[in-house]
Structure 1
Amino acid sequence: MINILSLAWCIAIVTGHFHFEHEVFLDRDENIKLLWSVEDDNITFEVRANTTGYVGIGFSTNGGMRGADIILGWVKEGTPYISDRHGIGNEEPVVDVQKDVELLYGSETDDLTILGFRRKLLTCDPDDNDIGSDTIRVIWAYHPDDPEDTEVVYHGPQRRGVRSIIFIGVLSAEVLQDAMTDDVLSMDLVNEHTLIPSGDTTYWCTHYELTMLPGPHHIIRIEPVVEPGNEGFVHHMNLIECYEDLSINSNSSLDCRSENMFRYRSCEKVVYGWAVGGGPLVFPEQAGYPVGARGDVRYFQLQVHYDNPQLLQGSRDNSGVRIYYTPKLRQYDASMLVTGLPSFVTFVIPPKEEAFTLQGTCERKCSEEMFTEGDLRVFSIILHAHLAATGIRLTHYRNGEYIGEIARDTTYDFNLQEQRYLKEEWIVKPGDDLFVECTYNTMDREAATFSGAATTDEMCLAFLSYYPKANAGKCYNTPNPNTLEKLLNLGDLKNQSLHEAIYNLEWTSDRRDGIREWYRTSRVSLCTNHSGLPIFSVEDISLGRVRISFYFIFSKIQNY
Structure 2
Amino acid sequence: MVDNTTQDWFGLQGREVNGWTAIQFKRLLDTCDVMDYPIKSGTNIVIYAYSLEDPVIIDGKATIKYHGDRRYTRAIPLQSYANPPSESKFTGLDYFDFQLHNYSVPSNETTYHCTVYKVPAKFPKRRHAIAHKAIIDPANIDIVHHMLMYECDPSAVFDDENLPSGICDDLGEVLMPCTSRIATGWAVGGDYINEFPEVAGYPVGGDFEIQYYVIQMHFNNIHQMSNRTDSSGMRFYLGNELRQYDIGYMTLGQISGATAIAIPPYDDRLVIDSYCPALAMQVSNL
* Partners of 2:98 and 2:135 in 1: CA distance: 9
Aligned to 1:57: 27
Q: Aligned residues, how many?
A: 244
User: Which residue type is aligned with residue 141 of structure 2?
Assistant: E
SS at match of 1:329: coil
For 2:266 and 2:78, the matched residues in 1 are separated by 24
Aligned partners of 2:82, 2:64: CA distance in 1, in Å? 31
1:262 to 166, 170, 173: 173
> Which residue does the alignment assign to 1:237?
147
Q: 3-state SS of the aligned residue for 1:202?
A: strand
Whether contact under 8 Å (2:43, 2:189) holds in the other structure is no
* Residue aligned with 2:172, SS: helix
Q: Give the equivalent residue in structure 1 for 2:83.
A: 171
2-structure distance, mates of 1:238, 1:26: 37
Q: CA deviation at 1:264?
A: 2.3
1:380-529 matches, within 5 Å, as: 471-472=285-286
> How many Å apart are 1:321 and its aligned residue?
1.0
What does residue range 304-323 of structure 1 map to in structure 2 within 5 Å? 304-323=217-236
Partner residue in 2 for 1:354: 266
Identify the residue that residue 227 of structure 1 maps to in structure 2: 137
Q: 1:194 is matched with which residue: 103, 128, 146?
A: 103
Identify if the C-alpha distance between structure 1 residues 370 and 315 changes in structure 2 by more than 3 Å, giving closer, same or farther. Answer: same
How far off its partner does 1:223 sit? 0.8
Q: Aligned pair in 2 of structure 1 residues 213, 56: CA closer, same or farther (>3 Å)?
A: closer
Which of 269, 277, 280 lines up with 2:189 in the alignment?
A: 277
CA RMSD of aligned residues (A): 3.8
1:291 equivalent in alignment to 2:204 = yes
Does 1:246 pair with 2:157? yes
1:369 aligns to what SS in structure 2? Answer: helix
**Distance change in 2, residues 1:196/1:138 (3 Å):** closer
2:55 counterpart residue number:
none
Q: Secondary structure at the match of 2:185?
A: strand
Structure 1 residue 299, shift from structure 2 partner: 1.1
Q: Describe the SS at the equivalent of 1:221.
A: strand
Read off the aligned partner of 2:99 and give its amino acid letter.
V
Amino acid across the alignment from 1:293: G
Tell whether the 8 Å contact from 1:243 to 1:266 is kept in structure 2 after alignment. Answer: yes
Q: What amino acid maps onto 1:266 in structure 2? A: P
Which residue number in structure 1 is paired with residue 115 of structure 2? 206
Higher RCO by CA contacts (8 Å cutoff, separation 6 or greater) = 2
Could you say which residue in structure 1 is the equivalent of 2:4? none
Conserved 8 A contact 1:57-1:138: no
Q: Which residue of 2 aligns with 1:185?
A: 94
- TM-score, normalisation: structure 2: 0.70
Cα displacement (A) at 1:249: 4.0
> Contact 2:123–2:205 at 8 Å: present in 1 too?
yes
What's 1:371 paired with?
Answer: 282
1:59 Cα deviation after fit: 2.2
Unaligned runs of 5+ in 1: 1-24, 33-54, 61-68, 70-85, 91-127, 140-152, 374-470, 473-560
1:58 positional shift: 2.8
Q: Secondary structure of the residue that 1:266 maps to in structure 2?
A: helix
Q: Secondary structure at the match of 2:237?
A: strand
Q: Does residue 276 of structure 2 align to residue 330 of structure 1? A: no
Amino acid at match of 1:329: L
Structure 1 position 138, deviation (Å): 9.7
Name the amino acid aligned to 1:272. T
Conserved? CA contact 1:290–1:296, under 8 Å: no
Q: Partner of 1:335: helix, strand, or coil?
A: coil
> What are the Cα deviations for residues 9-44 of structure 1, in whole angstroms up to 9, with x where unaligned?
xxxxxxxxxxxxxxxx99985543xxxxxxxxxxxx
Paired residue secondary structure (2:173) = helix
Report the CA distance between 1:317 and its aligned residue: 1.1
What is the CA distance between 1:243 and its match in structure 2? Answer: 2.0
Which letter maps to 1:57? R
The verdict on how the C-alpha distance between 1:89 and 1:292 changes in structure 2, with shifts beyond 3 A counting, is closer
Any conservation in 1 of the 2:107–2:225 contact (CA below 8 Å)?
A: yes
State the shift of 1:297 in Å.
2.2
Distance apart, 1:325 and its partner CA? 1.6
Q: Secondary structure at the match of 1:229?
A: helix
TM-score (norm 1): 0.38
